[in-house]
Amino acid sequence: MVALLMHAAEQGLVFGIAALGVFISYRILRFPDLTVDGSFVTGAAIASSLIVVQGLDPALALALAFAAGCLAGMLTGFLHTRLGITDLLAGVLSMIMLYSINLRIMGKPTISLLRAETITNVISRILAPVGSAAILVFLAGVALVVKLLLDLFLKTEVGLALRATGDNEAMITAQGVNTKTMKVAGLALSNGLVALSGGLVAHYSGFVDIGMGIGTIVTGLAAVILGGSLIRSRRAGWMTASVLLGSLIYRTAVMFALRYGYAIGFQASDLKLVTSLLVIVALVIPTFRDRFLQRRRPC
Amino acid sequence: MLELKGIRQVFRSGQDQVVALDGIDLLLDRGDFLTIIGSNGAGKSTLLDVIAGVLVPTAGRVLVGGLDLTATPAWRRARRIGRIVQNPLSGTAPTMTIAENMALAMKRSGRSFFPALTKRRRRQFALALSTLGMGLEHRLDVPAFLLSGGERQALTVTMATLAKPDILLLDEHTAALDPANGKLIADLTEAHVKRTRLVTLAVTHNMEQAIHLGNRLIMMHQGAIVLSLEGEEKSKTSVGQLVELFSRRHIVDDALLLEAAS
């Protein structure tokens, strides 16, 4: 049971980084960005092929995975802001393009990292004293650092301009901000985090699969919405904390569903269906609640 | 300071075209306060859009301090041009706090990766807000969507003053408020304009406001300036005279319309 919960926590943290990426596009920029389904795999592909083929240092490989994700986000931003393609379609186009690009990077649909030097191998050695908790400690550290850096950024002058871009675009344009640039930058950061998460997941699970990114947007949304309903704060620090909390709860729920769900005929392959239904319910509840309570909320 | 030369703005949609601005020439010096009146569709807001850079005119030039800004994007002009519109919801970022909104307004270029809200800035914001007498200085961390329309518009005016623009565009910015709040915001704006001697253009439907505010007045009709009053000539004009001038235009129009119909 403890091992199961630890495993769920590890997953919650590592996927929580991707959820923080989705938080930036969906909550801050109000941009439903589907690029993440592709950029998650891009991160995994870069972080894996670089250590398998090039024998690169795993930490460096992960940094490059982040950079590749940033480029993917910039592509979507370019399609949307410069070429005038609608947000959803721009994301879909990037996602589909990334599918081919990811296959190019990987060379084949799956890569095994069993014999490669992954970040988890390195960490297990460095953190050997804490034993089986080494990976959990490491992932908690990474997630926390990402969260804190993001908090700091969102409170800077540029960070404020990014938030205002999603909040009131006309207003912030009148305050001298090029919202096109802000959107491109926001999407770059968002997809960078998603790709970093993808790279970590690959190292953590020991393999990459071309289809592993399917539904990243939905699981990310599940964490963002779940966390947001538990912690209702507009302060940057609380909002990012809520995303990580949402991800932890979601992964724990998934773990239990996979472990004990067979009793009600639940299969692993049903997961995406159930997650999407959960997100639909979570998205619809506020609308109906407000309709019944006749209360108005901003956006 | 602000010069408009032969501004023409034509909106096209397939075969149809609408001439929103038809050859506007205007020269305003530092300290000039121009009120703009005219019926709906006269081109008042389009004129402000052209000055703010939201629209690039079909023809003509926009010069600010001798610089040609005709094709400069709106966000780049923001350092020199501030704008307040009718809808109090438009001027602030709703989910961000009062202090955050003010921080956004204060620095209009060269935004840094340093914290936006320092203790010093918060004190500065509180001081600026305290002059409003609304108690907003005690609510710096309240999100803007919780403020009333009057409070939000007062915040917007205060934000416009923080940025110290050269030109201030007011697009019926008191029209959506109740009379008391409208008066308050109008007084606040006037005090600020007098203090800073910037160039102000104010669109209004309130004839009395049009006469009493500022030193110049234009009436627009069908995209052109049909009446221009200045200084003494303006202050001596009564509301009645202005309304008559205003409605005479309409009567002429109606007659023309009837002619065209028959």
Give the contacts of B188 (CB within 8 A, at least 6 positions apart).
Answer: B132, B154, B157
Task: Please indicate if any CB of chain A lies within 8 Å of the CB of B119.
Answer: no
Chain B residue nearest residue A235, CA to CA: B96
Q: Can you give the pTM of this predicted structure?
A: 0.87
CB B110 within 8 A of CB B164: no
Chain B residue nearest residue A173, CA to CA: B75
Report the pLDDT value the prediction gives residue B133, as an integer from 0 to 100.
84
Give the contacts of B259 (CB within 8 A, at least 6 positions apart).
Answer: none
C-alpha span between A21 and A38 (Å, rounded)? 13
**Are A174 and B78 in contact (CB < 8 Å)?**
yes
How many domains does one find in chain B?
1
Indicate whether A80 belongs to any domain.
Answer: yes
Indicate whether A144 belongs to any domain.
Answer: yes
Give the contacts of A298 (CB within 8 A, at least 6 positions apart).
Answer: B94, B95, B145
**Are B104 and A168 in contact (CB < 8 Å)?**
no
Task: Please indicate if any CB of chain B lies within 8 Å of the CB of A182.
Answer: no
Sign of CA dihedral B139, B142, B146, B152: positive
Q: Mean pLDDT over residues A157-175, rounded?
A: 93
pLDDT digits (tens, 9 = 90+) for A284-299: 877 777 677 655 555 4
Give residue B90's domain range: 2-261
Task: Please indicate if any CB of chain B lies within 8 Å of the CB of A159.
Answer: yes
Owner of token pair 């939201």: B54
B169 neighbourhood in chain A, CB within 8 Å:
none
φ, ψ for residue B169 (rounded to 5)? -110, 125
CATH, residue B124: 3.40.50.300
φ, ψ for residue A207 (rounded to 5)? -160, 160
**pLDDT of B62 strictly over 60:** yes
Give residue A43's domain range: 2-212
Indicate whether A235 belongs to any domain.
Answer: no
pLDDT digits (tens, 9 = 90+) for B162-178: 888 889 999 888 888 88
Q: Mean pLDDT over residues B48-69, rounded?
A: 90
Report the pLDDT value the prediction gives residue A206, as an integer from 0 to 100.
92
Which of B161, B238, B248, B219 has the alpha carbon at shortest distance from B34?
Answer: B219
**pLDDT of A68 strictly over 90:** yes
Across A123-127, A170-174, B61-65, B239-243, least confident range: B239-243
pLDDT digits (tens, 9 = 90+) for B187-197: 888 888 888 88
Across A94-98, A245-249, A266-270, B56-60, least confident range: A266-270
Q: Mean pLDDT over residues A130-142, rounded?
A: 90
Indicate whether A255 belongs to any domain.
Answer: no
Indicate whether A194 belongs to any domain.
Answer: yes
Q: How many CB pairs under 8 A join A and B?
A: 90
Chain A residue nearest residue B106, CA to CA: A175
**pLDDT of B252 strictly over 60:** no
Report the pLDDT value the prediction gives residue B262, as an integer from 0 to 100.
44
B108 neighbourhood in chain A, CB within 8 Å:
175-176
Q: Mean pLDDT over residues B72-90, rounded?
A: 87
Q: Is B236 exposed, middle or buried (0-12, 13-18, 19+ CB in 10 A)?
A: exposed
Task: Please indicate if any CB of chain B lies within 8 Å of the CB of A207.
Answer: no
**pLDDT of A152 strictly over 60:** yes
Indicate whether A226 belongs to any domain.
Answer: no
The SS3 assignment for A55 reads coil
**pLDDT of B249 strictly over 70:** no
How many domains does one find in chain A?
1
Chain B residue nearest residue A171, CA to CA: B91
Indicate whether A246 belongs to any domain.
Answer: no
Indicate whether A140 belongs to any domain.
Answer: yes
Report the pLDDT value the prediction gives residue A163, as an integer from 0 to 100.
95
Report the pLDDT value the prediction gives residue A295, as an integer from 0 to 100.
54
